[in-house]
Chains A and B, each alone.
Chain A
Amino acid sequence: MNIEVKGLCKRFSRLVSDGETKGRRSSRKEEFLAVDHVDLSTRQGEILGVLGPNGAGKTTLLRMMGTLLAPDEGTVSVVGEDGAVISDPIAVKSCIGYLSENTHLYGRFSTRELLHTISSIYGLTPEVRDERIEQITEVLNLSAFIDNRIERLSTGQTQRANIARCLIHSPGIYIFDEPTLGLDIISSESIVSFMKGEREQGRTVLYSTHYMEEAQYLCDRIVMLWEGRIIAEDTPQRLMEQTATDNLRDCFRALLDAGTRERAEETEVRKEEGQDA
Chain B
Amino acid sequence: MRKSVVGSLYRKEILDILRDKKTILMMIVVPLILYPLIFVGSIYLAGSILAAPTSKGYIVGFEGLRDEQAMKDFMKEREGEHHYTFYFYSPPEKKDSEEMLRDNRVQAVLRESVSENRPYYEIAYRASDTDSQTAAGMVETILEDYRDELRRNEISEAGLDPDTVLRPILYGRKDYSSNEENAGYLVGLIVPFLMITSILMGALYPAIDTTAGEKERGTLETLLTLPVNNLELIAAKFLATSTIAMAAALLNILSMGFLAIYMGDTMKLAGGGGSLDLRSFIPAALIMLLCVFVFAMFVSAVCLCACIFARSFKEAQNYTTPLLLLFMIGGMAGMIPQLSLNRVTIMVPVVNVVLLISELFHFHYNLSQIATVLFANLAYTGIAVVIMGRLFSSENILFGDAAASLRLLESRKHMKPGQIPGIGDVILLFSALLIVVLFVGSTAVLHFGLYGLMIEQGLILLLVLLYAWYIRADFGKVLHLRKVRPVAVLSAFLCWAGSFFLIQLFGSLLTSLFPGLSTENAENLVALWQGKPIWLLVLVVAVFPAVCEEAAFRGFLLSALEHKYKGAVAVVFTGLIFGAYHMSLLQFLLIAPLGILLSYVVWKEGGIVLSILIHFLNNLSSLLLEQYGESLQDVLPFLKEEQPGAATAAGLFMAGFVLLSAGLLLLRKKAQPSS
Contacts and interface: CB of A to CB of B under 8 A. Distances in A.
Contact of B4 (A98, A104, A120): A120
B218 A90 contact: no
Contacts of A120: 4, 7-8
Nearest to B404: A13
Given A68-B394, A103-B222, A90 B12 contact: no
A103 B16 contact: no
Interface string A73-91: 0000000000000000111
A168 to B, nearest CB: 10
A70 interface: yes
A93 interface: yes
B229 interface: yes
A166 B16 CA distance: 20
A109 B17 CA distance: 11
A253 B228 CA distance: 40
Interface centre among B225, B228, B394, B404 (most CB of A within 10 A): B225
Contacts of A96: 225
B227 interface: yes
Majority secondary structure, A binding face: mixed
Contacts of B16: 106, 108-109
Nearest to B397: A68
B226 A103 contact: no
Contacts of A107: 217
Interface centre among B5, B15, B224 (most CB of A within 10 A): B224
B410 interface: no
A117 interface: yes
A118 B12 CA distance: 9
B368 interface: no
A66 interface: yes
A94 interface: yes
Given A69-B398, A93-B227, A106 B219 contact: yes
A121 B9 contact: yes
A165 B229 contact: no
A55 to B, nearest CB: 14
A13 B404 CA distance: 10
Given A68-B398, A91-B227, A103-B225, A117 B218 contact: no
Given A91-B227, A113-B15, A105 B394 contact: no
Contacts of B217: 104, 106-107
B398 A122 contact: no
Interface in B10-53: 11-12, 15-16, 19-20
A94 B5 CA distance: 13
A165 B222 contact: yes
Interface in B115-168: none
A197 interface: no
B219 A105 contact: yes
Interface string B309-340: 00000000000000000000000000000000
B231 to A, nearest CB: 11
A38 to B, nearest CB: 18
Interface string B180-205: 00000000000000000000000000
Given A104-B217, A108-B19, A117-B8, A122 B226 contact: yes
Interface string A209-249: 00000000000000000000000000000000000000000
A182 interface: no
A239 to B, nearest CB: 30
B265 interface: no
Contacts of B229: 89-90
Contacts of A117: 8, 11-12
A10 B567 CA distance: 41
B5 to A, nearest CB: 6
B226 A118 contact: yes
Interface in A93-139: 93-94, 96, 98, 100, 102-109, 113, 117-118, 120-123
A66 B226 CA distance: 10
B226 A63 contact: no
B4 A123 contact: yes
Interface centre among B19, B222, B226, B404 (most CB of A within 10 A): B222
Interface in B386-411: 394-395, 398, 404
Contacts of B398: 63, 68-69
B222 A105 contact: yes
Cβ-closest 3 pairs across A and B: A104-B218, A108-B19, A98-B225
Given A69-B394, A106-B219, A165-B222, 10 more contacts: A96-B225, A102-B218, A103-B225, A105-B219, A108-B20, A109-B19, A117-B12, A120-B7, A121-B226, A166-B225
24 contacts: A13-B404, A63-B398, A69-B395, A69-B398, A70-B394, A89-B229, A90-B227, A91-B227, A96-B225, A102-B218, A103-B218, A104-B222, A105-B219, A106-B16, A106-B222, A108-B15, A109-B15, A117-B11, A117-B12, A120-B7, A121-B5, A121-B227, A122-B226, A122-B227
Interface of A: 13, 63, 66, 68-70, 89-91, 93-94, 96, 98, 100, 102-109, 113, 117-118, 120-123, 165-166
